[in-house]
Structure 1
Amino acid sequence: MRKFIFILFLLLFGFSLVNSQVIINEICSSNAESLLDEDYEASDWIELYNSGDSPVRLKDWRIYDKNNFAKAWVLPDTIINAKSYLILFASDKNRISSGNYLIEAGGQGAVEWAKDDYFHYEYLKVAGDFDISVKIPFFQSEFLFGLAGLMLRDSLNSSSSYISMNSQIQRRGSYFCVFREEQGGVPAVIHASQPIQFPNVFVRLKRQGDIVSSYLYQKNSMDWFSYGKFQYKNNDSVYLGIAISGTENGKLSKGLFKDLVLNGDTISFAKLSSFNNTGQEFNKRFYKELHTNFALSKEGEALFLWNSKAELVDSLTFPELKTDVSYGRYPNGENEFAYFYPSTPSSENANPCYAFAEEPEFSIEAGWYDAGFSLTFLNIKPNETVYYTLNSSEPNENSFLFEGNPIEIGKTTIVRAKTYAKNSVPSQTVSKSYFVEENTHKLPIVSVIVDSLDLWQNERGIMNPSNIFKKLEVMADFEFYETSKTHPNFSGKAGMKLHGGASRSKYPQKSFSLIAKSRYGLPKFEYTFFKDNNYETYDKLLIRNAGGDWGKAFLRDGFACKLALQMNLGASNYRPAVLYINGEYFGLQNLRERIDDEHISIKYGLSKNNLNLIEDKAVPLCGSRDSYLKLLDFIENNDMSNPDLFKQVEKLVDLKSLINYFVFRIWSGITDWPDYNQKFWSSSDYDGKWRWVVYDSDIALGNNFNYINYSLFVLKDSTKMFSKMMIKLLENEQFKYDMLNGFAGIFATKLHKSNSIPLLESIAEQLKDEIPSQQKRWEGSALDWENEVRAIKEFLLERNYSVLSNLLTYYKLNGMGEIICESSNIEGGDFKLHGIERKDFLGSMKYFQGIPVMLEAVPKQGYEFVSWGNPLLPDSSRLRIAFDSAEVVLNPIFKLKENPEERTIIFNEIMYKSSKDLKCDDWVELYNTAEETIDISNWIFKDDDDKHIFLIPEGTSVKPKEYLVLCENEESFSNSYPNVKNYIGSFSFGLGRPDIVRLFDASNNLIDSVAYSHLSPWDENADGTGFSLELDKFISDNNNPANWYAAHIYGGTPGELNSEQVSVQEFEASSGIHFSCYPNPLSDYSTI
């Protein structure tokens, strides 16, 4: 059958093969651990094999995942020896050399327990002071105690005194400074408990006089950290270089080195001399790892190999593969194909498998049960065997064998099962939590299932005290329950790590991160874990122990982030939850989002390639910090009181977001800020401006400090980057006014007690019933909880007054004033203060006396502004004015326009979330209802965020009864609708679900707006289905959801008459999009 499929494939693709001794022998398209590349990444890989008896030169050969020689990746001048292998990493990195230098070693090694050293050494002889550093992108050793790093020696004698700074392998996870003070002595060790994270490992040795210092590079501070100082009085020339050691005879350690720098000069590895006393052959060479310009499809595809004459010499078609399972020829070079698990890169294909065992099917779903029950496994095939465990361990062929007798589940139990079959790849382990007669919870529940060895074993256990600061990751199953009376609402496999900094050792209850990865089966978590997010895709979830609030209210950071999100600041959403690990109650936890590059990319619809994410001391987490450092330099070295110079800052910083962030951080009284706990980002996919993110507010909101005096003075007490930047920016008078008005406006809205206290009380109410169980499970946690919550409430009652008083003192202002509006219902419009609509004020409309404020009249459609109803104010609808009095009375007056204009340009169609198959990005359609052409040059399109602006180009007009599409991405739109020509773009923001689309003319008058939603009463069939929202009739009220419907045609009708009035045939002819029905012939149902 496999031969038949292969022959059929040849016929379908219409090509012939030239006989070749070099063939595609094995591939892995879902690599996780089978083979790591020099970047310490699990790239897909392809194995070529020379089946002949002579070497073959592969210069100008090509390989590709499409039958297209012209676009195929070109192999460099490489020779593959007879009966030998060549690995190509299908990584899409497109390179043949990275400049890394490879050295290998075996033998007994250079270790602290031996008087003689056995190592491979590449060295120079130097005299006097020196400073040498090197990068170690990759290190692999069969034995845990292998070392790679820098070494200083008196001589090449195996018992010579020496000093070395080394990296271990990543799963061992730390740095070793090994040194022998006197010849013939036993070496000593300084152990640096810093996590190893290849490829970013750097070590350094520096001599000044008689002192030699060893260093490692800390990414979080972007600086060298000294881990040892040694007396060294040898004034003669010494040996200095890179070294690698094994510790086990017959097995090689392999290290890659890069960027060897001595006294500021880069040293070529080719200039080093070699020494090897291990008694084994070794390699030393510049490493040429081959990376193609394409990656492999996990769903399966074909590969093609051509010789230099453009003759197709081999092809291989592979199916969808599971993680770390490869597919290839068996035996080597033959035309029989099989799966291999484990895979066999650069070695003979062995132990072939011809199928995948089916995952075991449980008779009872995971969940919460009031009584015990009997469990069985269903639909087991004759050639399959199911093994299971009841203690959370990973099942194998030594576990319980299921022989048909029911398994009695009488108490809370974790059942894990795996299917085995002859000549088959074993199934993935399937895990289920059965909670029997357990206490119920009002909060959501996360149940994590993980092998106990992965929790507690000495070398790999993430909760073993010796490992808590290592970046160890283990595989876990997890289930998410909305309530404790249901089956799981979501379940899947994930990577699991410890999370946090000092809290890892400070508190017995740990925090964890759950990480979605293809290698575990889920590239993303797709579920609405946080109901108020407008997205449901997550790459990580945090299960957090409340950090610095663990012993107190257990909610400060989550509550603070909820408030920050209400202010449209970036923040990690929060939901209290209960955690079980392997069926054991692990207590109350905070379910959180992880603020990283993936989170920001998903939330704002950005490409990670165009994202810069930075934390604290300008440490880049993603992208580059260069533009931020240039911004700081510009601010520091220029007069910010100069309006023209300040405008340059406005182009690079979202100042409104910065003010909101600053107001929030000052208000919250956080004590480990601004020196720490900062993250900020920019993206060319957005508007290129820097924005700040709120996170880690555990030590805030009155937590263990005198918050009354902790206010704006914090800037003067800090010399850190953020403080220096803000002090300089506040030299600008207008920015200072905007900042002060930000305090006044936000304190009367989102941070007013009428908003903050109900939010606090709602969270506390959710936690209340769980607190006794938490206190019982973890001694010292949530102590005196009710008084802690009461203390936060007191903070919320008093904080605004204390901050405002502080500002009055700081800036020597006369006091606060209040705007009084005597009319509770202003006919024809309303007004804004500080950019905030009157209806959104929860407290008095306050202002600082003597500080200019912005007043803006907002007439309703068909009305126009007349006056402020105050004879002292000019009759301008927009005023920037300073009030010196303690009270100002306003009674804005509006009147009907004498000749109200009909709406001419309206929103007629909206595509706010297409389907996965229709990659058109977002768009809206405008329609001109008038009888004449309307010039819309310099009109403005916005969503619900005022900073999201698309300026319609000069010279743009819409003819009568015609359409114009505004699209997020012109290229995506054009590819999806090739026959539609009446479109412009691209706007730099995506549309949300829900959102508001707004159109303003060149004078900033609102022309039309639609506030739509993805939820009923709006048509939910337009949400992610590929069907747009269409307006029923041009004259309809387009803010009434009853007048909108999901398009009747897939893709909608951009630039055309809406689908209610057009046939499929007409649309196909006009748009270039065609439809087919399946199945064919039609059965009970068909899909268009």
Structure 2
Amino acid sequence: MLSQQFSDFWLSVLLFVLFSTKVQAQVSGIFINEILSSNAASDYDAATSDYPDWIEIFNSNSSSVNLGGYFLTTDTENIKMWQIPGGTTVPANGFVSFWADDSDLTNHAGFALDKEGGFIGIYTSSGAVVDSFSYGFQLRDVSFGRSVSDPGKLVYFAKTTRGAANSQKYYTSISNSPRFSLRGGFYNGNQTVILTSPSPDAVIYFTTNGSEPDSASSVYSEPVTLTKTTALRARAVEEGALPGLTMTQTYLIDEEINLPVISIVTDSANFFDDSVGIYITGTNGKRGSCDATVRNLNQDWERPVNIELYEKDGSLGFNQEAGIKIYGGCSRTRFPQKSLALYARKSYGKGSFDYKLFPDKNIHKFESFILRSSADDQVRTFMRDALAQYICIGDMDLDIQAYRPAVVYFDGEYWGIHNIREKINEHYIVSNYNIDKKNINILQSNSSLVYGTQIKYIDLINYIKVNSLATTAAYNYFKTQIDIDQFIDYEILHIYLAERDWPGNNIKYWNSNTIEQKKWRWICFDLDQTFIRTTANTLADATATNGPNWPNPPWATLLLRSLLDNQEFKNRFIQRYAFYVSSTFSPGRLDSIVDVFKSVLEPEIPRHITKWGGLMDEDSQETWMPPTFSSLLQWQNNINVIKSFIRDRPSVALEHLRNKFGLKNLVTIKISPNIDSAGQVLLYDRKVPKPLFSGRLFPDLPVSLRATSNPGYRFLYWELTGNISRTDSAAEIQVTLTGNQEIKAVYEKTAGNEPVVIINEISYNSSPDFRTGDWVEIYNRRNDPVDLSGWKLKDSNPENEYVIPQGTIIQSNGYLVICEDINSFISKFHYLIHFRGNTGFGLKNEEEVIKLLNAHNKVIDSVHYTNKYPWPEIDDGKGYTLILKNTDLDNDLAENWMTSLKATPGSRNDNITGIMSEKWPDNSQDGIIKSYPNPCSSALTISYRIVSGGNVRIKVFDITGIEMATLVNDYRNPDIYSIKLNTNSFRNGIYFYSMDVDRKNVDLKKFIVIH
């Protein structure tokens, strides 16, 4: 920023001094004067309640200049990135600034600045450059711009001055970071750390109390000896340069490691100072939602920290600066141990935590996560919320938070167990569903907006207020708006576990503006008050019209009540609930899961008790809440309460269900496949346990059953014995029970080992005029459907993996397209309905491997293609796709593929005319082109040509003339084909294969098998 006294100076030097900006700037007198690309706590924007980056423009002219229509950009290839609104003027010798974020508010540019370095430019409406410069790495809350005394010089300012003159004091460089001779981690005995700097003249300051080193800190002069767990922080200062980055390493010395360790390091004032501390009541607070006490911890304050994660084996997960807040509602005021939310922001250095926090989730990047102190269960077991969510994995379709217990150290001091959890926000949806966050809508409570827009949901609620869902038409419409099965699972979980703090509280739900995820889904969180009230009739609470108990006001029960008016929904809800009681919620299953949770936490519990045992929040007004468990025995007894609930709840819950709906006594149903590995039986689209499921369902209500097949097997029929005796060959049936019943799904093994679900068409380089994103089409060769739930699509990058959602069925002889980007795909193929995505990754043009794996990580099919011979050569960007010539061909052979300019996702490839490879030997008649290898051992590949089209038959015979196999017996269009013969079962010797076209023999060849 330039002051009034320097305006004459600017006018005189503009004609003679060559700045680092373009010549056009010297003509217009408009300059980019100062930027802040790492605004952590320097300049606050009240409109967004945040600290965005910003760009300041200076007008050196003696009259105001209208910048309306000019452009700001960070990309020289896209100079019209963001247009300055019309009527925006900068006064004579004055300034105007623009926030740089993705907000659409006035004077908010539609981009952010990169802390790592970049380009910033301003251009006229016609595209002429006005001013620009490039910049390097930027420190937090340090601005970059023009020196007042030498405007051609770009420098750093420790004090930002948006909207005013630039500071006279500046720096031309940033000090180098110090180096540690020993990396943080787990150590035994005293440790010695040597600190060095690349600059021999640098002064290194260090601290061991968590505070950021400054000129008042200890000056490094000799190796630092550490005798206990310590967070060591160091910072170098070079002559004439800004102080460098603060580097942090935590040394955990002689600690017993039972869980992953997270070290949080910050100035203790950020947590415990009366004025600014976020962890305490303090003297600068506000009232919260759960009591009247004014507390600092109720403020939405964020403080800078350094965070390290170490795995149990001592390996480093990450070490970076981040922001931290107190997390939670009433729990922040009820309990002494607070939950914490961590935020990666570019203003701290990195905009994400690039680490796979949860081994059971294939997510490698997090913008935020929670260190949860278990809220209301903090005083009992420290596991209820995670336990309640994890029991549904693999059985129920629910959006849950991943869980991983860890131990936290604060400034080197043991801070007890905290549960690492996903944070429920737009980034959670992006990570778990690969959806662009701009398309996400998240609501909570009674249609309150969290992210996006709530208009469509409010319209939906208004719809059921005037339309009875008892009618088929209204219910069918509703099924297009919410994920019915997911909603049923969500309701059943909370009702069965007798969640007390629900349904009028702790409720969040989401959808997307994209077709694939337009249906509303509900998210599970804060289930800390479960596994307690064994006899509670939460079914009555969840369907009450007048809300007699906390917290079930009428709005919170409206959706379930309205849906239960529909007989189809009610049948589905009742029978699935009863099914879950016998399967997912069975005491044996749940008891074993509790034991696993217990075994993980138990070794750490004694030390956790030493830190937090017997304590209560001294300022809490909720005296009904007991103190934290104070002995290992008390903790174990609290877990026994969970086990008692697990044992006694089934009969109580089923009786609630029977009484609510006036049902008859339960009957026993037994379901099994004749071959365990042959396929999966689904009851109301939920997996039936194998090998034998024995449970209780209600009579006189339909039970929907569906059989799916695994590769290598075929479903034949159902066999019903008991009160109903019959067989049924349909893969999906409904059975209304009248008494005890046994049902068997009968399968047979199919011949051969060829994959039944194959990769059939590949689009890896769409045309610029027809951008669809990359996609892969798969095809089901079978005559019955295949359940693809949990199957995976992968490419050559091991980090690229797309998991096909639960409930995805590919129909018999049907197609499914898996897309990189659903929005791009449906913009061109809007008529298709059988697709999934977003994968979040594209395919390589030159060489790629695509793999399709089943839910057990077995490779079902793979294609290894290139864009060079013998594969069809595709010109980049021309829009060709790779198509398999026929679905019964071996798709791993290059000669069985061709290119097409007319993509056919979701339909047969052989309906179109392709462009065949022209590098085969010229041949004017039908016949065998080649077979290889010959002699062969395990397989022989036969390539043949069809010139005019016809019925083709290829048979294999041994030397005595006995027929061994029929390889082809079908019509073939004009083309070149390949097929593979499996010879593992052939004895050593000489064999022949013959080829007939339209019953006329055209070729006879010999091959030899040698094992």
1:1055 correspondence with 2:874: no
- Corresponding residue of 1:432: 249
Counterpart amino acid of residue 86 in structure 1: V
Pick from 511, 523, 526: which aligns with 2:351? Answer: 523
- Higher relative contact order, structure no. (Cα contacts within 8 Å, ≥ 6 residues apart): 1
1:788 matched to 2:638: yes
Structure 2 residue aligned with 1:635, among 449, 464, 487? 464
| Equivalent pair of 1:922/1:990 in contact (CA under 8 Å) | no
1:761 correspondence with 2:595: yes
Q: Is the 8 A contact 1:674 1:720 kept in 2?
A: no
Q: 1:634 to 1:7 in 2, by over 3 A?
A: same
In structure 2, the CA distance between the partners of 1:761 and 1:361, relative to structure 1 (3 Å rule), is same
Q: Which residue of 2 aligns with 1:34?
A: 42
Alpha-carbon distance between aligned partners in 2 of 1:940 and 1:463, rounded to the nearest angstrom: 44
Distance 1:834 1:927 in 2: 25
Match of 2:200 in 1: 382
Report if aligned partners of 2:206, 2:218 keep a CA contact under 8 Å in 1.
yes
Q: Is the 8 A contact 2:826 2:832 kept in 1?
A: no
Does structure 1 conserve the Cα–Cα contact (< 8 Å) formed by 2:822 and 2:838?
no
Match of 2:740 among 887, 899, 902: 887
**Is the 1:950–1:988 Cα contact (8 Å) retained in structure 2?**
no
**Aligned residue among 782, 806, 810 for 2:660:** 810
SS of 1:525 mapped into structure 2 = coil
Aligned pairs for 1:195-594 within 5 A: 290-306=107-123, 312-331=129-148, 334-349=151-166, 350-403=168-221, 405-438=222-255, 440-466=256-282, 467-483=296-312, 486-566=314-394, 567-594=396-423
Q: 1:827 to 1:759 in 2, by over 3 A?
A: closer
Contact 1:921–1:968 (Cα < 8 Å) also in 2: yes
- Distance in 2, matches of 1:823 and 1:54, equals 86
**What is the aligned partner in structure 1 of residue 100 from structure 2?**
90
Partner of 2:837: 990
Going from structure 1 to structure 2, the CA distance change for 1:526 and 1:383 (only over 3 Å counts) comes to same
Query: Aligned partners of 2:670, 2:781: CA distance in 1, in Å?
Result: 42
SS in 1 for 2:132: strand
Q: Is the partner of 2:701 in helix, strand or coil?
A: coil
The structural deviation recorded for 1:556 is 0.8
Amino acid at match of 1:670: E
| Cα distance, 1:621–1:480 mapped onto 2, change above 3 Å | same
2:36, 2:54 within 8 Å by CA — same for their partners in 1? yes
SS in 2 for 1:770: helix
- On the 8 A contact 1:850/1:882 being kept in 2, the answer is no
Letter in 2 for 1:731: D
Give the letter aligned to residue 53 of structure 2. D
- C-alpha distance in 1 between matches for 2:677 and 2:270: 68
Conserved? CA contact 1:546–1:555, under 8 Å: yes
Distance 1:509 1:50 in 2: 53
Query: Are the structure 2 counterparts of residues 921 and 423 from structure 1 closer, same or farther at C-alpha, using a change threshold of 3 Å?
Result: farther
Instruction: Quote the residue 1:73 is aligned against.
Output: 83
Q: CA deviation at 1:400?
A: 0.6
TM-score normalised to the size of structure 1? 0.67
Q: Using the alignment, how far apart are the partners of 2:830 and 2:467 within structure 1?
A: 42
In 1: Cα distance, 2:81 partner to 2:756 partner: 50
1:735-783 deviation line (CA, Å, top 9, x unaligned)? 0100011112222332222322111100101111111112222132234
> Which residue of the partner structure matches residue 184 of structure 1?
none
**SS in structure 1 at match of 2:476:** helix
Q: How many angstroms apart in 1 are the aligned matches of 2:156 and 2:437?
A: 34
> What's the CA shift string for 1:90-129, capped at 9, x where partnerless?
3354664xxxxxxxxxxxxxxxxxxxxxxxxxxxxxxxxx
Displacement of 1:320 in angstroms is 3.8
What is the number of equivalent residue pairs in this alignment? Answer: 808
Distance 1:843 1:95, change over 3 A: closer
- Partner residue of 2:33 out of 20, 25, 31: 25
Letter in 2 for 1:447: S
* CA–CA distance in structure 2, aligned partners of residues 773 and 534 of structure 1: 32
- Matching of residue 624 in structure 1 with residue 453 in structure 2: yes
User: CA-atom RMSD, angstroms?
Assistant: 4.4
> Which residue is 2:703 aligned to?
853
The one-letter code sitting in structure 2 at the alignment partner of 1:692 is: W
3-state SS of 1:27 partner? strand
> For the structure 1 residues 851 and 986, does the alpha-carbon distance in structure 2 shift closer, same or farther, using more than 3 Å as the test?
closer
Say whether the 8 Å CA contact 2:351–2:367 is kept in structure 1: yes
Residues 728 and 79 of structure 1: CA distance in aligned 2, closer, same or farther (over 3 Å): closer
Q: What whole-Å deviation, never above 9, does each CA across 1:942-969 have from its counterpart, x for those lacking one?
A: 97435558999xxx999xxxxx975343
Per the TM alignment, residue 1030 of structure 1 is displaced from its structure 2 partner at its CA by 3.5
Instruction: Work out the CA distance in 1 between the residues paired with 2:49 and 2:563.
Output: 42
Whether contact under 8 Å (1:829, 1:857) holds in the other structure is yes
Q: Which amino acid aligns with 1:694?
A: C
Report the Cα distance in structure 1 between the residues aligned to 2:676 and 2:151, rounded to whole angstroms.
85
Runs of at least 5 residues in structure 2 that lack an aligned partner in the other structure: 1-13, 283-295, 615-627, 792-802, 875-879, 885-890, 904-1011
Question: Which of 858, 861, 873 lines up with 2:726 in the alignment?
Answer: 873
Distance 2:649 2:565 in 1: 26
For 2:452 and 2:731, locate their aligned partners in 1 and report how far apart those are by CA, in whole Å. 41
The answer to which of 325-334 and 759-768 deviates more is 325-334
Q: Label 1:556 to 1:344 Cα distance change in 2 as closer, same or farther (>3 A).
A: same
Identity of matched residues, %: 26
TM-score by length of 2: 0.71
What is the deviation of 1:796?
1.2
Q: Is the 8 A contact 2:233 2:246 kept in 1?
A: yes
**In structure 2, what is the Cα distance between the partners aligned to 1:498 and 1:92?**
26
Task: Give how far 1:873 is off.
Answer: 3.3
After superposition, the Cα gap between the structure-2 partners of 1:945 and 1:749, relative to the gap in structure 1 and judged at 3 Å, is: farther
Q: Which stretch of the first structure deviates more once superposed, 468-477 or 74-83?
A: 74-83
Deviation at 1:973, TM superposition (A): 7.4
CA distance in 1, matches of 2:739, 2:781: 49
Which secondary structure does the structure 2 equivalent of 1:868 belong to?
strand
Name the CA distance, whole Å, in 2 between partners of 1:603 and 1:682.
13
- Match of residue 691 from structure 1: 521
* Displacement after TM superposition at 1:348 (Å): 2.7
In structure 2, the CA distance between the partners of 1:940 and 1:1056, relative to structure 1 (3 Å rule), is farther
The match for 1:740 is 574
Deviation of 1:1027 (Å):
6.9
SS of structure 2 residue aligned to 1:815: coil
Q: Secondary structure at the match of 2:583?
A: coil
Distance 1:25 1:737, change over 3 A: same
Provide the C-alpha distance between the structure 1 equivalents of 2:663 and 2:355, rounded to a whole number of angstroms: 51
For the 8 Å contact 1:385–1:401, the answer to whether it is kept is yes
Look up the match of 2:556. 722
What is the CA-CA distance between 1:386 and the residue it aligns to? 0.9
Q: Which residue number in structure 1 is paired with residue 59 of structure 2?
A: 50
Give the drift of 1:417: 1.0
1:250-270 Cα distance to aligned partner (Å, 9 max, x none): xxxxxxxxxxxxxxxxxxxxx
Q: In 1, distance between residues paired with 2:536 and 2:100?
A: 59
Distance 1:493 1:1024, change over 3 A: farther
CA distance in 2, matches of 1:641, 1:929: 40
Deviation at 1:730, TM superposition (A): 0.5
